[in-house]
Amino acid sequence: MLRLLFVGDSMTIGSAGEHTWRYRMWQHLRSSYGAPFKIVGPRTALYDKAADAPVSYEYADPDFPQEHLAGWGEGWQHMVPLIGETVRATRADLLLISLGLIDLGFYTDAEKTAANARAFIAEARAANPNVAAVLLPVIPNTRAQDDPDFALEVARFNELLAKAVADLDTDRSPLLLASPPAAYAIHHDTYDGTHPNANGEHKLAAAFADALYQAWDLGAPYEPVR
């Protein structure tokens, strides 16, 4: 059975009342994978903006498997110490990872963020030498639109992430770099310039789903389930 772990920041954990792109991906795999799979992870909550903490369970669909490893305000550097034990405990064998924006915005420059991505992969492989992963570059956001220096840092990190994936990819533990979502427009696909609305959720799920299908013939091309 495929054991799937979502890893990410605020765009992945989502907030109270949202579906999240995790949900859109689950819907897609239910209709296209054709074999048993399980969503795993040590966390289950959504972020509650009123409480300023991940304490909500107000998922838009209560039937959705809620497990994940994502956190509001968390990035690569926060996940490096957690991923080894998480992979061991959950027996995850496929990681879908969306990280980097929060690191670059608050914690580390492009080079250090890329180094943390490499350390994350090493820790995951130490726990499961056969683990596979799909990594999403940092996608368009309002800060990069308004701050040219930050935009350059994002572009630099995305280059370094692509190099890390190329350097570290192996037959035993394959890595994929997903393509950024096609035609992703922050005023159409987010509700605040960063966090995805329903349109954005589908586009993020499609980025992962299409990478899995094109490279590994897993599932099918993404078709939104409304």
**Domain architecture of the chain: domains with CATH:** 2-216 (3.40.50.1110)
**pLDDT at site 213:** 97
pLDDT tier for residue 226 given thresholds of 50, 70 and 90: low
Q: In 3D, which of 8, 75, 17, 21 has the Cα closest to residue 49? A: 17
Q: pLDDT tens across 85-110, in order? A: 999 999 999 999 999 999 999 999 99
Q: Beta strand pairing status for 46-48 and 53-56?
A: antiparallel
CA 217 to chain centre: 20
Average pLDDT over residues 128-151: 95
CA distance 102 to 138: 10
% of the chain residues with pLDDT over 90: 93
**CA-to-CA dists, residue 36 to 3, 16, 220, angstroms:** 9, 28, 15
pLDDT tens digits, one per residue of 24-45: 999 999 999 989 999 999 999 9
∠92-93-97 over CA atoms, to 5°? 80
Section 5-31 average pLDDT: 95
Closest by CA to 135, choosing from 175, 194, 103, is 175
